[in-house]
Amino acid sequence: MKKLILISCLLLAVAASISAQDRLTLTSDEARKIIANVYLDWGRARLALDRETFEKMLAPGFTIQQPGRKLARQEFIDGISAVRPNEKLTRYDITVLTVQTTSDGWVVITQEKTEIESPGKTKGFSLKIMRAGWKQIDNRWMITYMEFIGHENWIGGTKPPFADW
């Protein structure tokens, strides 16, 4: 039994070591695939207002720079997980555009497409270009910061001028 426990501990140590080494040797394509998959969870969480997922995915010390203001982690989570009686997020698609390595993680540029519906069935559309920092912390991929690079909104049911909308 002691040998089994010792072997299990050794295997965990080796796995942790490999994981840390993999983190340092990932190619941009490998990081892109991982981050794009994690963003699928983020999109589902945004639609479901899933606070628990936001808590798991945003690193301690996370901040987001929005036009005209900077929000801390908890303020951002409170805002994106709040139920709004006058609007409902009905689409949240995110596409990873670029991935670049940094000394301790990755910087990703994304395109976010969202649709919001109001009680009168009026739709609003939004396109955002965002920059986000990603890091692997305790063997989990986490977002360390976000910042708006650019955005445009369309209201009153007017669809954006893109073929895929």
Mind listing the pLDDT tens digit of every residue in the chain (165 residues)? 444 444 444 334 433 433 444 445 799 999 999 999 999 999 999 999 999 999 999 999 999 999 999 999 999 999 999 999 889 999 999 999 999 999 989 999 999 999 999 887 789 999 999 999 999 999 899 999 999 999 999 988 788 999 888
Of the candidates 126, 127, 130, the residue with the CA atom closest to the CA atom of residue 148: 130
What is the CATH topology of the domain spanning 27-154?
Nuclear Transport Factor 2; Chain: A, (3.10.450)
What's the rounded Cα separation, in Å, for the pair 3 and 59?
Answer: 37
Tell me, what's the pLDDT at 157? Answer: 75
Q: Could you give the count of Cα atoms lying within 13 Å of 91 in the half-sphere of its Cβ?
A: 15
Only one residue has tokens 């005209």, namely 68
Residues constituting the chain: 165
What's the rounded Cα separation, in Å, for the pair 26 and 66?
Answer: 30
What are the respective helix, strand and coil percentages of the chain, to the nearest 5? Answer: 35, 40, 20
What's the rounded Cα separation, in Å, for the pair 108 and 143?
Answer: 10
For 65, the 3-state DSSP assignment is strand
Q: What angle do CA 133, 139, 50 make, to 5 degrees?
A: 65
Tell me, what's the pLDDT at 128? Answer: 97
Q: Which residues pair with 113 in a beta bridge?
A: 93, 127
What's the rounded Cα separation, in Å, for the pair 157 and 13?
Answer: 55
